[in-house]
Amino acid sequence: MMRVSDFRSDTVTRPSRDMLEAMLRADVGDDVLDGDPTVAALERRVAELLGKDGAWFVPSGTMANSVAVGSWTRHGDEILLERSAHMVQWEAGAAGALHGVQSTTIVAEDGRLPLDELRRSIRLRSLHCPRTTLVCVEQSFMGSGAGPGGRVVPLEHLRAVHALAREQGIAVHMDGARLMNAVVASGVAAREYAACADSVSLCLSKGLGCPVGSLIAGPREFLERARLVRKRLGGWMRQSGVLAAAGLYALEHNVARLAEDHELARELASVLDGFDGLECSPNTVESNIVMARVTHPRHTPESLMAALRERAVLVLPQNATTLRFVTHLDVSTEDVARVVVALEELLG
Ligand SMILES: *Cc1c(COP(=O)(O)O)cnc(C)c1O
């Protein structure tokens, strides 16, 4: 079988043999009836990692974010987020559809919500206005494709957002689907970033290589409400210790190695930038996401994606001008070399 080089997302990884063996060995129980010891261990481990009172295990990052929105808000409230944030762009309108809140967006291509605009966006406490109750930040920030992707939002910025929100009595949720990428890229501890938010979600099935699972962490009062919201969303699972075991394995073995993904992403960016018709500056690559602008006269991101697919290289268009490449556990320099061969044929 021909090897496929899959740069579409860091979600495409297959569980390794060692991870599968850890899953086989997991001690399990019915988490809904009497608790599952491996899920409990993962929840404690993540709560400790993030410096929060506790965490709940849920099937997906989308559900982790949804639990946060449902827990911090009431119907008719308003939440503030960046316009291309995952929660706005890629979660099928969950905040409005499931929790009845209005999402008001602010544009910040680097993921840093401008503080003056954030302050202006918080509504008057008036019967005429929705209550602004939650600000959401994303770390690392995937980006829209208008600029670089996988940005690490600086700690000082996150602190300033949190201080502003707190002063206004508003909670902050951090969509930390790729938080560990930001941690490894910056050297700042996870709990330092997490301290800038009241609740934090963390995805195990992105760069960390698990088949399933996310966690939502926060303070005690939040967790009580969050457990109810998770129950309503159908996210309370049974012998989920088999999945939690993969998470514990990943936190042990797959975090430090994210540095290799970041290195490979920079290498890929410099390769892409070397082709006429592609623009991608390697020194803007901070983590594992590479956004390449297609400026070639005969190609669009769509046409290039299709042509690359014929050469067993998979990528995704991010928008009408940009192709997205994501590095992860299951791609290597060998796959970057295959991109070079394919692009030489197509653009050379
Ligand atoms: C992937 C992702 C999520 C959640 O995705 P799921 O596919 O539901 O696990 C949330 N936020 C960001 C920034 C993501 O990249």
> Rounded mean pLDDT of the chain?
97
Question: In this model, does residue 1 exceed pLDDT 70?
Answer: no
Q: Chain centroid to CA 133: how far?
A: 22
List of domains in the chain:
5-12+257-347 (3.90.1150.10), 17-253 (3.40.640.10)
196 lines ligand 1 (CB under 6 A): no
62 lines ligand 1 (CB under 6 A): yes
177 lines ligand 1 (CB under 6 A): yes
* Per-residue pLDDT tens over the stretch 58-108: 999 999 999 999 999 999 999 999 999 999 999 999 999 999 999 999 999
pLDDT of residue 2: 76
- Candidate from 9, 10, 58, 62 with most ligand 1 atoms within 8 A of CB, to mutate: 62
| Sheet strands (E) in 139-186 | 171-176
What angle, 0 to 180 degrees and rounded to 10, lies between the N-to-C axes of helices 258-273 and 333-347?
A: 20
pLDDT of residue 3: 87
* Per-residue pLDDT tens over the stretch 180-233: 999 999 999 999 999 999 999 999 999 999 999 999 999 999 999 999 999 999
Question: In this model, does residue 334 exceed pLDDT 90?
Answer: yes
Q: How confident is the model at residue 348 (pLDDT cuts 50, 70, 90)?
A: confident
Residue identifier of the C-alpha nearest atom 9 of ligand 1: 61
Strand bridging mode 54-58 / 214-218: antiparallel
